[in-house]
Amino acid sequence: MKAVIFDIQRNSFVDGPGIRTTVFFKGCNLRCKWCHNPESQSLKPQIMFYADKCTGCGRCRGITAADTDFICFNDAKQICGKEYTVDEVFAEVVKDRSFYENSGGGVTFSGGECMMQIDFLYEVLKKCKESGIHTAVDTAGNVPWEQFEKILPYTDLFLYDVKAFSEKLHKEGTGVSNSLILENLKRLSGRAEIIIRIPVIGGYNNNIDELKDIAEFLKDIEFSKVELLPYHSLGEHKYDALNMEREKFSVPDKADMKEYKKLF
Amino acid sequence: MNERISELSKLTLEGKMLPTYTSVKFDRMDLFLPEHQKQSKRIYDYIMAQKPVITEYQTMTGHMKLDVKEISGPFMNARSLKNTDEALRYFYNKPIDNLSTFEWLHATADFGKIIRMGIKGLIEDIEKSKQKYKDDAEKISFLDSLKMVADALIKWAHKCSAEVFEFAQGLNNAEYKKNLLRLSEALKKVPQYPAGSFYEAVLSIYILFSYEPDGLGTLDRILYDYYKNDVKKGILTKEEAKEILQELFLMLQANTRKGSANFTRGGESHFCVGGYDENGEDVFNDFSMLILEAMCELPTYIPQISLRWTKKLPFETFLKVLDMSVNDKNNRIAFVSDEVKIYAATHIAHFPYEVACRYSSVGCNELTYPGGFFAGTTNTNMLRSIENTLYNRKDELLAADTWGKFFDIYKSELFKDVDLMIRYDNEFMRIRAKDTSYVTSLLFTDCIESAKTFTKGSCKNVVSGADLIGITNVIDSLCIIKQFVYDEKIITMSEMIDALKNNWSGYEELRELIKRRGKFFGNDDETSNYIAKLFCETLYEYTKDKTTELGYHLLFGNLQGYNPHHQIFGSGTRATPDGRRDGEMLKFGIGQSGGYDREGLTALLNAVSKCDKHCILSGGPSVTNLYLDEKLVLNKDNFIKTAKLLETYFKNGGSHFQLNYVSQDDLRKAKIAPENYKNLRVRVSGFSDFFVNLTDSVQDEIIRRTVKSN
């Protein structure tokens, strides 16, 4: 069994408690307009091309996304996404075991939407959990409830994204309804530790009423904390490299962020 | 910091607390004396002719500068020793066949013992030794010269006492006058007699430091009983203790000439706090913290302190000291691990545990023991053995059809260079032994008992260790050979040799491929971890039972911060399999840089901490220089995670690290426009300095170090 992974980042401080390794799965069933990892959306390996770095040497002639071993000497052409077996992912994850144990960290499966490759996710979670590694799943939650049931025994923590409460707004920003997402969150409540993550996107959901509605909804949910993630523009160049259209959003005001935090 | 210390700090940084030399017209009749007596009498006359520095703000005095042009062999300062100085002229930063250079020694007087027994106690030991050697005229003559130096130290204190008393008479400020009268009284007692209080103990160190001006040792252990007893008796408060310590630390800064490169560098005045005691308990306590706080409050560059980390040190304490370290704009704190240092000292240098646990760090964190020194320091180009293998043994290499056979050929070159290094080390020690050092020998262990100068093998508490420069290049080169020639068979050995001989010309594509796909050290992959372990193991097996002629076991370090050895050696080394071109400098210390560390900080720390299970790289500095992004330091949660990361590194077997948190961008700008970045400080190895003061090559290396952020 294999999964398409586009990055394994060791020493992550931002994807849950302690020091973690974050495994980024390719493929997502949302199309968030502000997505800072647009290369995560497609399930398949893709070519990313940074035109400004290309010297026209021609070494990449005929290269396709399947040539995952190809190396461009100018870093202009990169193959994003590679197939991994469960054992290969585990071998990377287990390298930092001592750092997890000493810091209360572990592994986080993220994406894209890691739950789209649920069978693989189940196997790798099971393997990590059974070897004593703390496990977290970073999800947007837009998958059938049965998939949560499946991985619950091997998942210590969910990093659960809530992007909007208003269905209309959600659909507008992500392309999908949030009814399944919110329903899954209700069902998940009390069954595992949950950290709620809310991206705050200037020009999308950075209005106090929308965030108040989310806070109101969360009153019935058991979670350990809420993290507000302000929009950043660091992913913009990747849209160009993938030849994708991008929309312009803004970084929310710092003072506003402080106000928003008080809601949760 | 109170007003008095603040005034003293100001004077110190203005260079006004530096004692001046007073020239002496030596009696020509001295020439009739036997050599030992001639030299010790001149030291005596010199000391007695000096003038103490006295201002109204002091509660201590007696520090001095020994003018090495005037007297021979006062202490181990190389320039005062004729033969050593000559060797330095020819070999300092001038390697023999691009292999080895000749460097300084580092040392720590046994201040703990001397303040407990007083100079008087040393004189009694001299008398006992004279009885022992009563039939050996040479030894008696040497011991008499030590006694004359001891007398000078006592009389100097008495002279200071009288001058302080005199000065105090003219003072109006009652408090300052009281301070100086107390000082005058105390100088009648110490360092001649055992110190009876915390103040006297510190004063004793203050006055004796000038005669062995290098390390202070394990200051929290040396002074703790005095501190505890005085606090218990109600004659000392914590604040007063801090003030006394600050005055000692200011003297260390004051004794360095303003304007010299060393004024803003800290390494030469290193000491340690914390670490295991004789019973295996961690000694770090409130007093250790007080020492750190006292130093951090001062606006000075000297001294610098290494925290001795142990598995028993509470995380909260480690976190607090790390916090002090990153908030100290003068970068005066480094971190070393007792787990590694003590293991090496007991298993490789064969010190009994009760001695091994008393180590301190001096200079760039070289290992020293009380009353002993770090010998050797024959810095050696490790990459030469790779160069010799590939350039001189082509026929054998072409016949080597397995990695194992290749490695055997490499090993023979490595061992040849290690043997040469030891040979040069012995030669240099023989040169040092031609000089006699009178003051150092008085303050070191075993010299009085054996009636021999310290360089003649009398000292027991010595480790001998060269700094092995370019280890990372060696590991990387071996990795590339294994991966590209033997495992993946991307090129043949013949092609590799040809590429190197042509300095990669015609092989640019191969070089790019190596840079991008090569399994380089620090990425925690199977190949590079295996090679790193194999290299350390090979070095350990070959050297573990070897000693120098004086019987000192070998423990190595891997950089020396003061000199650009990596540049000097690199300039004479041809292209190597790691993608290095002819003449390019070697990598600094152990670690990875220049974008070759692709897997992040945990991978790097794993690779470094796990490669050397025997701890053979623990005698000298074995620094992992970490340049952290401000984001990891300024955010509290991230900072705690960073501390956990570093603690894990130590728990896994890491030996030494130091933190910088400056942006790469700032460093680049500082290099281009130094006038705008005069205050930007970085740690280089055991010492820190202003970035703009560093040589070009060291600046470039620091810029190349990956700024680790998240």
pLDDT tier at A91, thresholds 50, 70, 90? very high
Instruction: State how far the Cα of B430 lies from the Cα of B74, in Å rounded to an integer.
Output: 19
CA of A180 to nearest chain B CA: how many angstroms apart?
33
Say if residue B221's pLDDT is above 90: yes
- Is residue B601 within 8 angstroms of chain A, CB to CB? yes
Q: Are B337 and B609 in contact (CB under 8 A)?
A: no
Helix (H) or strand (E) segment spanning residue B139: helix B137-169
Closest Cβ–Cβ partner in B603, B644, B651 for A19: B644
Pairwise CB contact (< 8 Å): A18 & B638: no
Chain centroid to CA B628: 23
Per DSSP, what are the bridge partners of residue A197? A161, A227
Give the mean pLDDT of B476-485. 98
Coil vs helix vs strand at A129: helix
Residue B189, φ and ψ in degrees, nearest 5? -100, -50
Contacts 24+ apart (CB under 8 A), B495-502: B496/B390, B496/B577, B497/B390, B497/B391, B497/B394, B497/B397, B499/B575, B500/B390, B500/B391, B500/B574, B500/B575, B500/B576, B500/B577, B501/B391, B501/B575
Say if residue B84's pLDDT is above 70: yes
Instruction: State how far the Cα of A240 lies from the Cα of B133, in Å rounded to an integer.
Output: 86
Assigned domain for A89 exists: yes
Say if residue B705's pLDDT is above 70: no
What is the count of structural domains for chain B?
1
**B-chain residues within 8 Å CB-CB of A103?**
641, 644-645, 648
CB-neighbour burial class of residue B399 (10 A; exposed 0-12, middle 13-18, buried 19+): exposed
Assigned domain for B330 exists: no
**Rounded to 5°, angle at Cα B16 from B13 and B18:** 95
pTM: 0.93
Say if residue B654's pLDDT is above 80: yes
Q: For chains A and B, what is the number of CB pairs under 8 angstroms?
A: 58
Q: At B283, list the tokens.
A: 């000694």
**B-chain residues within 8 Å CB-CB of A106?**
none
- When mean pLDDT is compared across A218-227, B149-158, B227-236, B611-620, the lowest value belongs to B611-620
Closest Cβ–Cβ partner in B513, B516, B652 for A98: B652
Give which of B313, B296, B189, B195 is closest to B242, Cα–Cα: B296
Give the mean pLDDT of B321-334. 90
Structural domain containing residue B453: 375-636+643-708
| Per-residue DSSP letter, B484 | I
**pLDDT mean across residues, chain B:** 90
Q: B309, B601, B605, B648: best mutation site toward chain A, by most A Cβ within 10 Å?
A: B648
Give which of B593, B496, B515, B485 is closest to A73, Cα–Cα: B515
Closest Cβ–Cβ partner in A14, A71, A99 for B602: A99
Assigned domain for A6 exists: yes
Assigned domain for A121 exists: yes
- Is residue B110 within 8 angstroms of chain A, CB to CB? no
CA of A115 to nearest chain B CA: how many angstroms apart?
25
Assigned domain for A67 exists: no
Q: How far is CA A259 from CA A211, A264, B101, B463, B514, in A?
A: 10, 10, 63, 61, 51
Give the mean pLDDT of B139-144. 96
pLDDT tier at B710, thresholds 50, 70, 90? very low
In the chain, the amino acid numbered B172 is N
> For residue B354, what pLDDT is reported?
96
**B-chain residues within 8 Å CB-CB of A99?**
602, 644-645, 648
CA of B276 to nearest chain A CA: how many angstroms apart?
21
Q: How far is CA B594 from CA A183, B334, B380, B599, in A?
A: 49, 23, 23, 13
Q: What is the 3-state secondary structure (H, E, C) of B53-105?
A: CCCCCCCCCCCCCCCCCCCCCCCCCHHHCHHHHHHHHHHCCCCECCCECCCCC
Coil vs helix vs strand at B399: helix
- Is residue B632 within 8 angstroms of chain A, CB to CB? yes
Pairwise CB contact (< 8 Å): B602 & A103: no
Q: How far apart are the first and last CA of chain A?
A: 41
| Per-residue DSSP letter, B156 | H
Pairwise CB contact (< 8 Å): A71 & B516: yes
Assigned domain for A174 exists: yes
Say if residue B377's pLDDT is above 90: no
| Per-residue DSSP letter, B481 | I
Those residues of chain A whose CB sits closer than 8 Å to some CB in chain B are 9-14, 18-19, 71, 73, 95-96, 98-99, 102-105
Assigned domain for A74 exists: no
Pairwise CB contact (< 8 Å): B602 & A13: no
Q: Model confidence over A100-117: pLDDT tens digits?
A: 999 999 999 999 999 999
* B632 contact partners, CB below 8 Å, separation of at least 6: A13, B638, B639, B641, B642, B661, B708, B709, B710
Nearest CA in chain B to A57: B509
Assigned domain for B253 exists: no
- Is residue B128 within 8 angstroms of chain A, CB to CB? no
Give which of B190, B31, B110 is closest to B461, Cα–Cα: B110
Assigned domain for B53 exists: no
**A-chain residues within 8 Å CB-CB of B632?**
13
**B-chain residues within 8 Å CB-CB of A96?**
602, 606
Pairwise CB contact (< 8 Å): A98 & B603: no
Nearest CA in chain A to B515: A73
Say if residue A80's pLDDT is above 90: yes
CA of A114 to nearest chain B CA: how many angstroms apart?
21
Say if residue B685's pLDDT is above 60: no
Structural domain containing residue A41: 2-45+81-262
Say if residue B405's pLDDT is above 60: yes
Say if residue B267's pLDDT is above 70: no
Pairwise CB contact (< 8 Å): B600 & A11: yes
Q: Model confidence over B555-599: pLDDT tens digits?
A: 998 877 667 888 999 999 999 999 999 999 998 888 887 778 888
Say if residue B4's pLDDT is above 50: yes
What is the count of structural domains for chain A?
1
Q: At B565, list the tokens.
A: 């050895």
| Per-residue DSSP letter, B706 | P
Give the mean pLDDT of B549-559. 88
Say if residue B686's pLDDT is above 70: no
Say if residue A251's pLDDT is above 80: yes
Q: Model confidence over B417-463: pLDDT tens digits?
A: 999 999 999 999 899 889 888 888 999 989 999 999 988 888 888 88
Assigned domain for B608 exists: yes
Assigned domain for A55 exists: no
Instruction: State how far the Cα of B496 lies from the Cα of B480, in Å rounded to an integer.
Output: 10
Chain centroid to CA B427: 22
> For residue A74, what pLDDT is reported?
85
Residue B91, φ and ψ in degrees, nearest 5? -125, -10
Assigned domain for B628 exists: yes
Cα dihedral B260, B261, B265, B268 in deg (nearest 10): -70
Assigned domain for A98 exists: yes
Chain centroid to CA B106: 7
Give the CA count within 13 Å in the CB-facing half-sphere of A241: 22
Instruction: State how far the Cα of B601 lies from the Cα of B632, in Å rounded to an integer.
Output: 12
> For residue B632, what pLDDT is reported?
73
Say if residue B240's pLDDT is above 50: yes
Give the mean pLDDT of A205-220. 95
Q: How far is CA B134 from CA B38, B121, B149, B438, in A?
A: 21, 20, 20, 20
Closest Cβ–Cβ partner in A18, A73, A103 for B512: A73
**CATH, residue B386:** 3.20.70.20
CA of A12 to nearest chain B CA: how many angstroms apart?
6
Assigned domain for B438 exists: yes
> For residue A112, what pLDDT is reported?
93
In DSSP notation, B650-682 reads: HHTT--EEEEE---HHHHHHHHH-GGG-TT-EE
pLDDT tier at B265, thresholds 50, 70, 90? confident
Give which of B274, B261, B266, B276 is closest to B296, Cα–Cα: B266
Instruction: State how far the Cα of B658 lies from the Cα of B346, in Å rounded to an integer.
Output: 25
Choice between B239 and B263, residue whose per-residue pLDDT is larger:
B239
Q: How far apart are the first and last CA of chain B?
A: 37
Residues of chain B with pLDDT > 90, as a percent, come to 68
Q: A72, A98, A107, A195: best mutation site toward chain B, by most B Cβ within 10 Å?
A: A98
Say if residue B376's pLDDT is above 80: no
- Is residue B647 within 8 angstroms of chain A, CB to CB? yes
> For residue A69, what pLDDT is reported?
84
Nearest CA in chain B to A75: B516
Instruction: State how far the Cα of B13 lies from the Cα of B250, in Å rounded to an integer.
Output: 9
> For residue B708, what pLDDT is reported?
47
Nearest CA in chain A to B602: A11
pLDDT tier at A68, thresholds 50, 70, 90? confident
Pairwise CB contact (< 8 Å): A13 & B637: yes
Pairwise CB contact (< 8 Å): B710 & A12: yes
**CATH, residue A228:** 3.20.20.70
- When mean pLDDT is compared across B595-609, B657-671, B686-700, the lowest value belongs to B686-700
Helix (H) or strand (E) segment spanning residue A93: helix A86-94
> For residue B709, what pLDDT is reported?
39
- Is residue B628 within 8 angstroms of chain A, CB to CB? no
Residues of chain A with pLDDT > 90, as a percent, come to 87
Q: B315, B517, B602: best mutation site toward chain A, by most A Cβ within 10 Å?
A: B602
Residue B268 burial (CB count, 10 A):
23
> For residue B680, what pLDDT is reported?
72
**B-chain residues within 8 Å CB-CB of A195?**
none
State the ipTM, two decimals: 0.93
- Is residue B395 within 8 angstroms of chain A, CB to CB? no
